Amino acid sequence: MFDEVISFIKNINPERNFIPLHEPVFSGNEKKYLNECIDSGYVSSVGAYVTAFEEAIAAYTGAKRAVVVVNGTQALHLACVVAGVGKEDEVITQPLTFIATANAISYTGAACIFVDVDKDTMGMSPESLKLFLETNAVIRDGKCFNKTTNKQIKACIPMHTFGHPLRIDEIATICKQYHITLIEDAAESIGSTYKGKATGRFGLMGTLSFNGNKIITSGGGGAIITDDDAVADLAKHLSTQAKIPHTWEYAHDHIGYNYRMPNLNAALALAQLENLDSFIEKKRALAIIYKTFFEKKGFNFVSEPEHAFSNYWLHAIILKDRTERDAFLNESNANGVMTRPIWNLMNKAPMFAQCQCTNLDNAQWLEDRVVNIPSSVTYKENESN
């Protein structure tokens, strides 16, 4: 049924029996920086590459500060802690996301509230967020409370799906109106911008991921970016077990976390960041190739939304229904082309089944239809036609 599609994808990736969804590319200074790191003896969470990578991430995104940590999930958790999210609080997020978003909220003891997404961005819908708050929220003493649960709605965490920016400026305006802290889950969207501004920079904090399958990787790693020095200082302090700096004393003033990125990972990540723009250029070129092909064949290829510049981390197509989606997944994977469906909605997971939700028609529609296709930057441009 999908022979022509599978053949086309294989032709972009010649001489390979198995085509992965996404694989890292190490073509720059990775080995050089790793060797320098090993030679220095500083391979753990103290070392020159940690500082260098933090400064480079801040400069690349335009943020004032960056704090690097062990992975994107812990970046989200730490951001929630710094924002004051705790037990008995609530955090608004989207159901169509990788589970790390909901898990990180849960680590604080807070409960998730799920609002719908937009079909064109696959990210949180400003209309759904606004409708939920108009119906359920009340402001008391400059704080937002849920009229149904009487709990404070402390934060909102939208996620930029597959690197495509959502309408984050509208979300930011709504959050400000309702005194809700905005934390962006930009784990998939480093290098993406919305109306010329980097994702992750529209709220108090943004979080990034450098997992092995991301557009740049440190094996494992994440970061918090912010324009607030006090926020950055607290995040950095908490990530190092909240140890008060001293030559020999072990004194701690908060419940802290062992979340600091090791120097080895930072060395790898810094070399990767140097090639990020070229990776994005290749991904955007591949997007054009895919879009041209799939539109000719009557498929809906997911393109960057209006006002957005996307890194196209993972390419995606939209099938006509779940039956066609499953048929494509079965046939492509059986023929050595790795494809994956978009995530199951978070509100369907047993640990989040009791969470408050809005109407989730768009999220359900996308869950039934969206499939990711091979998205590595190693494709052969001259083999694409």
* Position 303 confidence tier, pLDDT thresholds 50, 70, 90: very high
Residues 43 and 167 in one domain: yes
pLDDT at 116 (0 to 100): 98
Residues 285 and 248 in one domain: no
Over range 182-197, report the average pLDDT: 98
382 located within any domain? no
Residues 299 and 151 in one domain: no
383 located within any domain? no
Residues 179 and 215 in one domain: yes
Residues 252 and 310 in one domain: no
pLDDT, one tens digit per residue, over 47-74 is: 999 999 999 999 999 999 999 999 999 9
How many whole angstroms separate alpha carbon 81 and alpha carbon 101? Answer: 14
266 located within any domain? yes
Over range 18-25, report the average pLDDT: 94
Task: Give the chain's domain count.
Answer: 2
How many whole angstroms separate alpha carbon 367 and alpha carbon 321? Answer: 10
Give the DSSP H or E segment for 357. Answer: strand 356-357
CATH code of the domain containing 139: 3.40.640.10
Q: Which residue type sits at 250?
A: Y
Residues 130 and 146 in one domain: yes
Query: Within a 10 A sphere around the Cβ of 217, how many other Cβ atoms?
Result: 22
Residues 186 and 331 in one domain: no
- Do strands 197-198 and 193-194 pair parallel, antiparallel, or not at all (unpaired)? antiparallel
Over range 31-44, report the average pLDDT: 95
pLDDT, one tens digit per residue, over 87-113 is: 999 999 999 999 999 999 999 999 999
* Position 331 confidence tier, pLDDT thresholds 50, 70, 90: very high
pLDDT at 381 (0 to 100): 53
pLDDT, one tens digit per residue, over 72-81 is: 999 999 999 9
Residues 180 and 297 in one domain: no
24 located within any domain? no
110 located within any domain? yes
Please check the confidence at residue 382 and state whether its pLDDT lies above 50: no
Q: What is the DSSP string of 290-350?
A: HHHHHHHTT-EE--PPTTEE---SSEEEE-SSHHHHHHHHHHHHHTTB--EEPPPPGGGSG
Please check the confidence at residue 379 and state whether its pLDDT lies above 80: no
Residues 257 and 287 in one domain: no
69 located within any domain? yes
How many whole angstroms separate alpha carbon 60 and alpha carbon 244? Answer: 30
Please check the confidence at residue 239 and state whether its pLDDT lies above 50: yes
What is each CA distance from 312 to 288, 303, 307, in whole angstroms?
11, 8, 15
* Domain termination site, one of 248, 273, 298: 273
Please check the confidence at residue 384 and state whether its pLDDT lies above 50: no
CATH code of the domain containing 291: 3.90.1150.10
**CA-closest candidate to residue 210, choices 371, 38, 37, 54:** 54
Question: What is the domain extent for residue 116?
Answer: 30-273
Residues 306 and 221 in one domain: no
pLDDT at 380 (0 to 100): 66
User: Residue 42: exposed, middle, or buried by beta-carbon count in 10 A (0-12, 13-18, 19+)?
Assistant: middle
Average of per-residue pLDDT values in the chain: 96
What is each CA distance from 271 to 199, 207, 281, in whole angstroms?
21, 20, 17
Q: Tell me, yes or no, if the pTM score tops 0.75.
A: yes
Residues 344 and 249 in one domain: no
How many whole angstroms separate alpha carbon 47 and alpha carbon 298? Answer: 52
φ, ψ at 19 (rounded to 5°): -110, 110
Structure tokens at 172: 């930011």
* Domain termination site, one of 218, 251, 273: 273
330 located within any domain? yes
384 located within any domain? no
Residues 254 and 306 in one domain: no
The lowest-confidence range among 123-127, 286-290, 381-385 is 381-385
* Domain termination site, one of 211, 242, 273: 273
